[in-house]
Amino acid sequence: MTGAVRHFLDHNAGAPLLPAARARMIEVLDLAGNPSSVHAEGRAARAVVEQARAEIAALCGTRPDRVLFTSGGSESNAWMLHQARGHQAGMGPLAVSAVEHDSVLAAAPHAPRIPVDDQGVVHPHAVAAVLDRLPDGGAGALVAVMAVNNETGVIQPVAEIAALVHARGGRVACDAVQAAGRLDLGTLCGAVDFLSLSAHKIGGPKGVGVLVAGPEIEPAALIPGGQEYRRRGGTENLAGIAGFGAAAAVLCATDRAAEALRLAALRDRIQAALADAAPDVLFPGRDAAFGRVANTLSVVLPGIAAETQVMRMDLAGIAVSAGSACSSGKVAASPVLAAMGLGDLAGQAIRVSLGAGSTADDAEAFIAAWCRMAARRNRVAAE
């Protein structure tokens, strides 16, 4: 975009494309070969795919053959839940947390929901209670619980939940799309059986993701065909995969601890300024038992619909969102915040999400615009 200065605070919806990812994609655009072909051109294309697979595997601390390419995080999530459909691979029933991404909730409309506390945390005892109500105590169940909530940034106790589920012979599917670069993916991969990632959340291109399977797991095929170890047919998105690999390599080389401290300082500055300006403001998940990731802040300003807040910020040159980008076109309260017990306030929340390019200027611009909006609300209420 050109013209007035814009402040992008919607990194959870998609991070700007990294220069390294763009450069890698441009390199491969002229490759004519199909990765499935055996001639030299095909082998060159195959080498691009396998390099990216190895780079993503390194980010996840797993073997390259455990990484299966998809069209994005939503497809990866659907593929994870596909494992429970028809009791494939010996799987039993399915249960999902009440605060999962819309792609999980929509793919499992009849699965029992695991409730959360008022901070959005899925506690192991809540998982156990839901499993107890399933046939055979949930033996062999597939449980879907995300690592980091995309709206609130709340971190879930995935390892503890996985231990409980595994003790009952079940498996765990983990949406880790918002965890990449914020939590240790190696630890997550070691705890769960299936894990999903999306390229454009880490500075890769849109339209490519992965399903990462555990070391002893053989996922049920999603699409017939010879690609992706005969589990997802169709010619690979070569440029997208190349860009994903490059972004993963950059992330592996990043000092993530230092970046987390930097982003947490910006988030905390925003949070403190908003609380000073409007004492009734709420920050869902702020007191979550296992913390929040550093870059995400959910903000409830009572009395103004989320869509109105987003539009006012946009007019002020600031990009924020009202919930998940995959469902934000819908005029409805956030199901995540509703599950946390916020009632009508669930429709009055916006999400601020920071990233590698976020600066103090971005934070101050948002603070100024938001405070003007809150002051206007107060004036209208006083009239």
Please state, in angstroms and rounded to a whole number, the distance separating the CA atoms of residues 87 and 97: 20
Please state, in angstroms and rounded to a whole number, the distance separating the CA atoms of residues 300 and 309: 10
Active site residue 174: no
> Half-sphere exposure of 131 toward its Cβ, with a 13 Å CA cutoff?
26
Q: Where are the beta strands (DSSP E) in the chain?
A: 7-8, 67-70, 94-97, 113-114, 142-144, 171-175, 194-198, 209-213, 296-300, 318-319, 349-353
Give CA separation, 252 vs 153, 164, 176, 210, 260, in Å.
21, 30, 16, 17, 14
Among 60, 252, 326, 371, which one carries the catalytic annotation?
326
The answer to whether the CB of 49 falls within 8 A of the CB of 228 is no
Please state, in angstroms and rounded to a whole number, the distance separating the CA atoms of residues 74 and 82: 12
| 35-41: Cβ within 8 A, 24+ apart | 35/227, 35/235, 35/236, 35/238, 36/226, 36/227, 36/235
The answer to whether the CB of 184 falls within 8 A of the CB of 44 is no
Q: How many residues does the chain have?
A: 383
Q: Which amino acid is at 321?
A: S
The answer to whether the CB of 201 falls within 8 A of the CB of 326 is no
Whose structure tokens read 């062999």? 140
SS3 for 225-238 is CCHHHHCECCCCCH
Active-site amino acid positions: 326
